[in-house]
Amino acid sequence: MRPMTLGRALIIINPAARHGETAPLIPVIEELIDGTVEHETVLTERPGHATELAREAVGFHVIIAVGGDGTAHEVLNGIMARPEDDRPAMSILPTGSGNDWRRTLGISKDLVTAVRQVLSGERKRVDVGVCNGTYFANSLAIGLDARVTAKAVEFKVTTGWSGLPLYFRALMYVLLHQFYAHDVRVKLNDGPVQERDILIMALTNGPTYGGGFFINPKAIDDDGLLDMCIIDKISLPSALWRLPFVVTGKHKWMSMVHMQRHARVELWSDAPVAGQVDGEVLLSDHYEVSVIAAGLEVIVPRPE
């Protein structure tokens, strides 16, 4: 590999990512990177540690997160907590369970290829979502799919599964045992407050979440808007036969599906509703969501 002008890089590795399978990859990553770019490698020791490391890093031009979407989420929030004129660029080496943001950035799931892509990559600016003060790179979901995320976190520990199979197993459990909609009030941009009965609301920068569900298949991460998919209340039998269309991103034609793009969305509920940002679970009765256009510089593969 030929050196490129990344500048000095901080590589933050989560050794616990993908059930600890990232830890044995650390020597491989070091061997692949050694001699190509000036860098320092640090390992996370606990939840939230990657945020601290990224926020407090000094003298680095780029921070590379090694792990899954959770690790990337932490690093992003550390970078965005810094002053606007002191934010390093960011990239990822995906070694986690879901890795939806790597799809959005176009980075390979193969580690050797991903290292090559990042080291020889180019810089671009992408949008960053904000939900209740927390930044997200790829996705926010409220309602049923957030309950699926919470169940997937549980199943990840108890089964050792990962990726799309893990999310699909969690989805089937929630559909059969925790299937219900939410009476909410929604405000889109500066429009009026609407009463809605929703099953799902998903706001994304990228096309997928949950390890590969194409919830917003036409989402673009640098258009200054969040792609939104709302699925209205439907019956369980209706949800089950429509599920394959949602997985593959072929659901836009359905009458209960509403796909739009917005810069700001606000949601209220009389009772707390489950949410998730980049796979991290939330619970709130008020969600205030916006987008920071071109808020983050990232390293992505060069077009081939």
Shared-domain flag, residues 147 and 115: no
Q: Identify the pLDDT of residue 3.
A: 38
Contact 69, 206 (CB under 8 A): no
Q: Give the pLDDT of residue 1.
A: 36
**157-168 pLDDT tens trace:** 888 888 778 888
Domains in the chain: how many in total? 2
- In this structure, are 193 and 114 located in the same domain? no
Per-residue model confidence (pLDDT) at position 2: 37
Domain that holds residue 281: 139-293
Q: 304 lies in a domain? A: no
So what's the pLDDT on residue 160? Answer: 80
Say if residue 262 is in the same domain as residue 221. yes
Q: Are residues 116 and 172 in the same domain?
A: no
* Same domain, residue pair 153 and 228: yes
Which of the listed residues 67, 90, 120 is the one where a domain comes to its end?
A: 120
Examine the domain organization and report whether 25 and 92 are in the same domain.
yes
- Is 116 in the same domain as 143? no
In a domain, residue 151? The reply is yes
Same domain, yes or no: 108 and 184? no
Taking the C-alpha atoms of residue 64 and residue 72, their distance in angstroms, rounded to an integer, is 9
Asked if residue 176 belongs to a domain, the reply is yes
Looking at the structure, tell me whether residues 152 and 111 fall in a common domain: no
CATH number at residue 175: 2.60.200.40
> Residue 5 has what pLDDT?
66
pLDDT the model gives residue 4? 47
- Whether residue 114 is found in the same domain as residue 213: no
Do residue 114 and residue 182 come from a single domain?
A: no
Question: Do the domain assignments include residue 301?
Answer: no
158 in the same domain as 108 = no
- What b-and-e string marks burial along 46-77, b requiring 16 or more CB atoms within 10 Å of the CB? eeebbbebbeebeebebbbbbbbbbbbbbbbb
Low-confidence ranges of the chain (pLDDT < 70): 1-5
What's the CA angle centered on 294, arms 130 and 208, to 5 degrees?
A: 60
The answer to whether residue 126 is domain-embedded is no
CA distances from 150 to 3, 98, 171 (A): 41, 14, 10
Asked if residue 105 belongs to a domain, the reply is yes
**Is residue 127 in a domain?**
no
Of 231, 287, 224, nearest to 255 by C-alpha is: 231
